[in-house]
Amino acid sequence: MAIYSFWVFDRHCNCIFDREWTLKSNQSSGTTNSKLNEDTAKLLYGMVYSLRSISQKLAGNEAHNEIRTIATGKYRAHILCTASGLWFILLSDLKQEDLSHVLRYLYGEIYVKTVAHNWLSPIDFAESEAEKRGQGFRKIRNRNFLLRVEQFLGPMVN
Amino acid sequence: MSSSTNNTPVPSTSSKKSLKVFSDDIWKNKTAKINAELFTLTYGSIVSQLCTDYERDFAKVNNQLYSMGYNIGVRLIEDFLARTALPRCDSLARTSEVITICAFKVFLNVTPQVGNWSSNKDSFSLFLEENPLSEFVELPMDAAKELWYSNILCGVLKGALEMVQMDCDVWFVNDVLKGDQTTELRIKLNRVLKDEIPAGED
């Protein structure tokens, strides 16, 4: 199993968390909430956004058709979009066909318990109008969130 | 991994029955239970403390309960969606079913009745036959006129619906605590909010 990176976007089109692993052999390698990933985050958002609108258009009148995975020649993106507008995205190698249970766990057991149920953490990461529509810069920095993401995804890196 | 990560089949048809079976399963198997009286009494102590703090200015107490509810709703919706994995609703009728059959069941173990649809189908009422918040409550004379004891519910619904892009007004019409026949809560959809798109894309 190999996963390359994990991303969370909020309903204001902002990337509120990113974690990229660079060395397969080292679970703690790579970057977390890195400024350098800003452009990649925007591109990733754009790719999912476009394919998501296409999948919804192609569904016709049967309203609900969320995109789940996108495969390219080099990697596969696994996507979970919630009704509240959060996107959880995992990039993995091509062998992983369906990581939706992993994404559900990241949402239900990690995000909900360490961010949504944590009243001292913001639930909305855009503090003003100027930080909405993809212009925001705030990230999830909760220690428990970071720790549990590391514990859960770390073993899947290689 | 806990049981909530299993891929529960989401009810795909809009039939009420499958939603009910689905909700009962979540309530039975995936929800930790607490003592209802503890919950009722905790809420009672919050309301009574607010009445003291605002010197029995019940309009202010109503507002405060509403805004506390709103703050709960915007967080509770994530919990709800994580538990149920339901997609957005395609109609307000569906929304009313999800609220009553699923959300009230999962969080409070009651199922309110839906009724009083407006002619253009943009508002409806929830009739709460049992209300766990007001189990042992009798309002004193001065409070009976103005206080909406369970006003926190309106705030919760408002906040939660806003997070799924439905801008609604939510308020109490009747309350048995005030001597009315029923406890009726009204939800009116103002508009469906648009999903944001990144700046420069429109």
pLDDT in tens, A62-79: 767 888 899 999 999 999
Quote the pLDDT of residue B11: 53
pLDDT at B34 over 70: yes
Mutation site for B-interface testing, chosen from A39, A56, A80, A104 by largest number of B Cβ within 10 Å: A104
Quote the pLDDT of residue A49: 92
The structural domains of chain A, with segments of one domain joined by +, span 3-156
The reply to whether B163 touches chain A by the CB within 8 Å rule is: yes
Q: Kindly indicate the confidence band of residue B21, based on its pLDDT and cuts at 50, 70 and 90.
A: confident
Q: In the structure encoding, which two tokens stand for residue A26, read together?
A: 């080292």
Contacts of A66 in chain B (CB under 8 A): 87
CATH of A3-156, one of 3.30.450.70, 3.40.50.300, 3.30.1360.170, 1.10.287.890: 3.30.450.70
Do residues A48 and B45 make contact, with C-beta atoms less than 8 angstroms apart?
A: no
Share of chain A above pLDDT 70, in %: 99
Share of chain B above pLDDT 70, in %: 92
Look up residue B119 and give its DSSP letter: T
CB pair distance less than 8 Å for A135 and B86: no
Do residues B197 and A14 make contact, with C-beta atoms less than 8 angstroms apart?
A: no
Q: In the structure encoding, which two tokens stand for residue A106, read together?
A: 């990241």
Q: Which of B77, B90, B199 sits opposite A84 (nearest CB)?
A: B77
State the Cα–Cα distance between residues A98 and A87, nearest whole angstrom: 16
Q: Which of B189, B173, B192 is nearest to B122 (CA)?
A: B189
pTM of this structure: 0.89
pLDDT at B10 over 60: no
The fold of the B13-27+34-135+147-193 domain, in CATH, is Muramoyl-pentapeptide Carboxypeptidase; domain 2 (3.30.1380)
CB pair distance less than 8 Å for A13 and B197: yes
